[in-house]
């Protein structure tokens, strides 16, 4: 029976991905910064482990507690929307700490274990923002594009060890805690000169033609983790799939 470790399972895409792998009969190590007992089924195939991907000691302790894993899903991420000019560099660094360095640190920490087992898959969750440029998300997009490039290159050096790295590119989902989790970081990021532009963008975002559901992302992560075709990118959700086709 295979084991998946997923980061950021307290809500949204990570939580649904944990449910999906569990429903498919896998062992699941569902990691959260603050473990929540109430959101996942009680099962001897499902373990909650505390993990903050920005803290090396937390990563080491989580991997020690997890035992052997077959698949790592780097899902944990922070959102950020705002005018770049108004975004403090501390906020830029905060986003990169989780979205970029957190993914790299997790990957570096699991690689010796996967290499010793001579098999394994790492799935990095990026965003459809990497498929077509979107306004007011320059920092967030930069963090996700960084992981796209990182993953593309890493795939070559891991191939000879029978290890695979994959990208899942979700579209926009209004139902996760993504926006509310990021709202305090976005305060003050739309100063007066940018306000008319920002209002136009918010108005256009209000009624999206299609959106992504957490189950779309869970299914795409599942496909990526079980892929035997050598596919690197898995757009997730109808909006992301449409962008990938037109890219
Ligand atoms: N929702 C969208 O529209 C959308 C679109 C494209 C891509 N994505 C990507 O999809 C992934 C999941 O997002 P979501 O929509 O499911 O958002 P979400 O509901 O806010 O979930 C994000 C998860 O990441 C966790 N997290 C944040 N910082 C962390 C850290 N330092 N260490 C460990 N966990 C951390 C959060 O934990 P806490 O509960 O502790 O904060 C939460 O469990 C992210 O990588 C995001 O960039 C989202």
Instruction: For residue range 110-155, list pLDDT tens digits in order.
Output: 999 999 999 999 999 999 999 999 999 999 999 999 999 999 999 9
3-class SS of residue 50: strand
Q: How far is the CA of 160 from the centre of ligand 1 (A)?
A: 31
- CA separation for the pair 205, 104 (Å, rounded): 31
Above 90 in pLDDT, residue 178? Answer: no
Q: How far is the CA of 215 from the centre of ligand 1 (A)?
A: 15
Whole-model pTM over 0.95: yes
Domains in the chain and their CATH numbers?
3-246 (3.40.50.720)
Q: Would you state the pLDDT for residue 190? A: 96
Above 90 in pLDDT, residue 207? Answer: no
Name the band, by pLDDT with cuts 50, 70 and 90, for residue 176: confident
User: Which residue has 């559901």 as its token pair?
Assistant: 213
Name the band, by pLDDT with cuts 50, 70 and 90, for residue 228: very high
Mean pLDDT of 212-218: 98
Residue of minimum CA distance from atom 25 in ligand 1:
8
Contact between residue 161 and residue 155 where contact means Cβ atoms under 8 Å apart = no
Q: Would you state the pLDDT for residue 140? A: 98
Residues marked active site are found at: 140
Mean pLDDT of 47-52: 98
- CA separation for the pair 10, 31 (Å, rounded): 8
User: Which residue has 């029978």 as its token pair?
Assistant: 162
Above 90 in pLDDT, residue 208? Answer: no
Which of 77, 128, 171, 175 best tests ligand 1's pocket when mutated (most atoms within 8 Å of CB)? 77
Q: Would you state the pLDDT for residue 175? A: 85
Q: How far is the CA of 15 from the centre of ligand 1 (A)?
A: 10
Contact between residue 170 and residue 217 where contact means Cβ atoms under 8 Å apart = yes
Cβ within 8 Å of residue 31, ≥6 positions away:
5, 6, 7, 8, 9, 48, 49, 50, 51, 62
Above 90 in pLDDT, residue 77? Answer: yes
Contact between residue 18 and residue 45 where contact means Cβ atoms under 8 Å apart = no
Ligand 1 site, CB within 6 A: 7-14, 32-34, 51-54, 75-79, 98, 102, 125, 127, 170, 172-173, 176-178, 181
Above 90 in pLDDT, residue 9? Answer: yes
């Amino acid at each position: 029976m295979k084991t998946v470790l997923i980061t950021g399972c307290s809500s949204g895409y990570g939580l649904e991905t944990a449910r999906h792998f569990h429903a498919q009969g896998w062992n699941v190590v569902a990691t959260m910064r603050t473990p929540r007992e109430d959101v996942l089924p009680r099962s001897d195939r499902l373990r909650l482990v505390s993990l903050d991907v920005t803290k090396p000691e937390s990563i080491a302790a989580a991997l020690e507690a997890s035992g052997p894993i077959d698949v790592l899903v780097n899902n944990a991420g922070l959102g950020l929307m705002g005018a770049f000019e108004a975004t403090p560099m501390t906020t830029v660094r905060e986003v990169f700490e989780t979205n970029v360095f957190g993914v790299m640190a997790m990957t570096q920490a699991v690689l010796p274990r996967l290499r010793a087992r001579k098999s394994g898959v790492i799935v990095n969750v990026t965003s459809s923002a990497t498929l077509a440029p979107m306004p007011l998300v320059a920092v967030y997009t930069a963090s996700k594009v960084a992981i796209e490039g990182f993953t593309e290159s890493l795939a070559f050096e891991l191939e000879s060890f029978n290890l695979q790295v994959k990208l899942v590119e979700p579209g926009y989902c209004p139902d996760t805690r993504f926006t509310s989790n990021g709202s305090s970081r976005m305060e003050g990021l739309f100063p007066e000169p940018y306000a008319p532009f920002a209002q136009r963008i918010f108005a256009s975002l209000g009624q999206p033609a299609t959106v992504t559901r957490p189950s779309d992302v869970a299914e795409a992560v599942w496909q990526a983790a079980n892929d035997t075709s050598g596919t690197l990118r898995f757009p997730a959700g109808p909006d992301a799939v449409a962008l990938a086709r037109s890219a």
